[in-house]
Chain A
Amino acid sequence: MERQVSILDGGTFVVSDQRGNIEHSVNRPLGLFHLDTRFLSEWILTIDGVVPAALSTDDVQYFQAQFFLVPKPAAMYVESTLSIVRSRFVGDGFHEDLLLMNHGKEPVDLEVRMQVAADFADLFEVKDMLQKKGEHYHRIEDQRLVLGYRRENFVRETWISATQPAEIDRNSLTFQVKIPANGSWSTCLEVLVAIDGLEERHSRVKYGHGESHARPNIGTSLESWIDSAPKLVTSNDALARTYERSIIDLAALRFFSKLMPDAAIPAAGLPWFMAAFGRDSVITSLQALPFVPELARATLRYLARRQGTRRDDFRDEEPGKILHEVRWGEMTAFEERPHSPYFGAADSTPLFLILLDEYERWTGDTDLVQMMEHSARGALRWIDEWGDRDGDGYVEYDTRNPETGLENQCWKDSWNAILFHDGSLAPRPLACCEIQGYVYDAKMRCARLARAFWRDPELAMRLEREAAELKRRFNQDFWIDDRGFFALALDGSKRKVDSLTSNIGHLLWSGIVDESKAERIVEHLLGPRLFTGWGVRTMADDEGGYNPIGYHVGTVWPHDNSLIALGLQRYGFRVEAGHVAMSNLAAAPFFDYRLPEAFAGYPRELTSFPVEYPTACSPQAWATGAPLLFLRALLGLNPMGNSLFVDPAIPSELGELQLLDIPGRWGKSDAFGRARPRSLVRRAS
């Protein structure tokens, strides 16, 4: 697959080919995107009518990329005397420095042309190939090309300008260039997201000429962010690079929502999910808690502020429910999509409660827990009164918006994710197993919060009682005795959806699994049907619906594996946790040390490298967080009171591992671990 180059800054990002060009097509959703709208759909450089070829490309920093080009070679050897350098910086649009160098002994006359277009497509229109309903317009003013779009009062504009004189028409900026022998020519190009509909007009892009120092929109600079993260000391180069990449990508994915501009939450992923997501933000924040706890605080505040307050079937909103996704594009504005915000997730509410407790355990920030009491109680009420739709004691989901709502409202949210063993679709409403685990965990954790901080021992006792009863019933109702694992879900007729999936690993993480059943679960997770050698695949390879390149029915998801590893550690299967962690981490070097959202679920013996999943997001927040959670599992990190408890189980291939300056309620603490013979790794009690 041809490599794409992505750079981003908050909610603005540019995806181009490796020449720096943007030439969108159905298969290649390239462009300049801002607030879920594509403000530039063509940006193609030609020299004398020919598109230059790429020599080298470097996405130097998360907001900056450089492209080194030559005029397209006619033969296999490049003997050009002209070289071209494009340096691009994204922020409220982008700034591009275009430099042409003539290495020849004669002057050259060139026509340098930048072909431009802006389709102002909503990201949903890009994904679903839908037609626009408004009108495009353009105007040329003050050496500036303005490309615009209008539908009623919905107006978006892109302004394009250059520092060198150019002939401008509606499709291009053209420069007639004369470069002396051994000379050069350059111009700055600015593409400004001038009217994005939500703020007063932007008047300039964020980075001007010569500015290459990252400036966060708010909060911590990249340097401070990296400096304040714990230091990993390891002789394993791949792990060190993967860790470094994760920390930088987490910084890059910090997203400043229009609805809470004073704090950064993790956006879900590039390019499709540069938006606030309940589930993704919570899980990423959980993964990152021992490293950058401030993400969790911002996520909790943001989600609480936008907690559901009423029943709104279009948005699948219910009182107390935590949102699923927020979008700002045209289709959301005109209510052709429900994302303002959309609440179609049945797991984000218990996950929110889990994060609240985990955040306090790591940071000791009791003020936030007290401030969140109202929201937490609302979330608990949602679980019992709305999440459990039929009063059977389990949270189940079905969209109230059959036209544009999500059919599946668990983490495996593609339409064909929940399948029986024979491959047939499970009818809704669906009570997915891992959501019951999350509910169990959320109630246990909120019992602690109620007792310790909300001065409500009665609530604590009730929650503990309900959690215990849920665990007892779940271990009966979901267990498939003859196959030795938990059903993926109960369907609308309360039948067990009997396919073997990675979801059972989440159950270990939640603690809902009876000790007596844990070993059989582990055998499945590490067995040949689920374990690929690169990690645990989402669905076992002998299931009717299995597809190694099916989004949720056979691929390997690093975030899924990280939660599984933590679950294995929780139940004392520490060697197995290490095995899952190391198999995933072994895949990272094949993806430039950046684990993608998902990769194909082929067995490792089939290929010597993990096979890419074609449309996977990268970077993707919870894949970025996965290596962090693997480290936590390997080192056995857990807060205990005001101390950090460290109980490492380091795989032999890692030798020694040190994680220094781990932030938390203890200030800063260090964790050390070294590999021991397998027989000496004890099971946790």
Chain B
Amino acid sequence: MEQAKTLIEALVAGRYDARLRGMRKTCAVRLGDHERVVVEVNDGYFGVAPADTTEDCELSCSLDDFLRIFRGEQNLITAIMRGRVGVRGDLAVAQMFQSVFSPGDQRAPQPTR
């Protein structure tokens, strides 16, 4: 589980999404019964919040599923729709964090031509 926490901390470090300017939201990720990491976005910047922070939404899933999302093998939204990722609270907030948990989103490949 430490692996996941380390991974999430690395993912959010220095991340910025201009579309989320002016917003302050938190999303908890629960992996199993004991591991819980709270990620926040504040005016577009992502960071890890203290563990006791009240979250706007909570995602819960197995480590396997989390890693599949991280590797871009599973879309976060369809994972929620299928019930592989549980969501409690505001789904819209979960979607804001998709770009953090699925870093493939940030890759901007060259156009086809």
Binding site for B on A (CB under 8 A): 152-155, 197-200, 257-262, 304-307, 309-311, 318-319, 328, 332-335, 340, 371, 374-375, 385-386, 388-391
CB distance from A381 to the nearest CB of B (A): 10
A residues near B77, Cβ cutoff 8 Å = 340
Question: What are 22 A-to-B residue pairs whose CB atoms are below 8 Å?
Answer: A152-B82, A153-B83, A154-B83, A197-B81, A198-B80, A199-B91, A200-B88, A257-B92, A259-B92, A259-B95, A306-B95, A310-B104, A310-B108, A335-B75, A340-B77, A340-B81, A374-B19, A375-B19, A386-B112, A388-B113, A389-B111, A389-B113
Q: Is B6's CB within 8 Å of the partner chain A?
A: no
- Note all chain A residues with C-beta closer than 8 A to B91: 198-199, 258-259, 261
CB-CB < 8 A to B111: which residues of A? 318, 385-386, 389
From the candidates B21, B75, B88, B113, name the one contacting A340 in the complex (CB within 8 A): B75
- Return chain B residues, CB-CB under 8 Å to A306: 95
B3 close to chain A: CB less than 8 A: no
Q: Which residue of A lies closest to B80 (CB)?
A: A198
Is there a chain A Cβ closer than 8 Å to B14's Cβ?
no
A372 to B106, CA, bound (A): 19
Pair B83/A197 contact, Cβ less than 8 Å: yes
| B50 on interface, CB distance cutoff 8 Å | no
**Chain B residues positioned under 8 Å from A260 (CB to CB):** 92
Shortest CB-to-CB span from B58 to chain A, Å, is 12
Q: When chains A and B are docked, how far (Å) is the Cα of A522 from the Cα of B15?
A: 53
A547 CB → nearest B CB, Å: 35
Please name all residues of chain B whose beta carbon is closer than 8 Å to the beta carbon of A259 when the two chains form the complex.
Answer: 91-92, 95
The minimal Cβ–Cβ distance linking B85 to chain A, given in whole angstroms, is 9
Distance between Cα atoms of A371 and B18 in the complex (Å) = 9
Q: Are A334 and B78 in contact (CB under 8 A)?
A: yes
A515 nearest CB across to chain B (Å)? 33
Given contacts A198-B81, A199-B91, 15 further A-B contacts (CB under 8 A): A152-B82, A153-B83, A198-B80, A198-B87, A200-B88, A259-B92, A305-B19, A305-B92, A306-B95, A309-B106, A340-B75, A340-B78, A385-B111, A389-B112, A389-B113
Which of these, B19, B81, B95, contacts A307 with CB under 8 Å? B19
Which residues 73-108 of B sit at the A interface, judged by CB distance below 8 A? 75, 77-78, 80-84, 87-88, 90-92, 95-96, 99, 104-108
Task: Find out whether the CB atom of B78 lies under 8 angstroms from the CB atom of A310.
Answer: no
C-alpha gap A384/B104 in the complex (Å): 23
Would you list the 3 A-B pairs with minimal beta carbon distance, nearest first? A153-B83, A333-B81, A374-B18
Contact B81 A154 (CB under 8 A): yes
Interface residues of B (CB under 8 A from A): 18-19, 21-22, 75, 77-78, 80-84, 87-88, 90-92, 95-96, 99, 104-109, 111-113
In the bound complex, residues from chain A placing their C-beta under 8 Å from that of B104 are: 310
Cα of A375 to Cα of B106 in the assembled complex, Å = 15
Q: How far is the CB of A261 from chain B (nearest CB, A)?
A: 6
Q: In the complex, are the beta carbons of A310 and B83 less than 8 A apart?
A: no
Are B92 and A258 interface neighbours, CB within 8 A? yes
Contact of B90 among A154, A261, A307, A371 (CB under 8 A): A261
Residue numbers in B under 8 Å from A154 (CB-CB): 81-83
Q: Which of A153, A262, A388 lies in contact with B82, CB distance below 8 A?
A: A153
A306 to B95, CA, bound (A): 9
Whether the Cβ atoms of A335 and B18 lie closer than 8 Å is no
Report yes or no: B113 in contact with A310, Cβ–Cβ below 8 A: no
Q: In the assembly, what is the distance between CA of A261 and CA of B90, in Å?
A: 8
User: In the complex, A305→B18 CA distance in Å?
Assistant: 10
- Whether the pair B21, A371 counts as a contact (CB closer than 8 A) is yes
Least CB distance, A37 to chain B, in whole angstroms: 11
A332 to B77, CA, bound (A): 10
Which residue of chain A is the closest to B112 with respect to CB atoms?
A389
A261 and B92 contact, CB distance less than 8 A: yes
User: Who on chain A is nearest to B18 by CB?
Assistant: A374
- Closest B residue to A391 by CB, please name it: B113
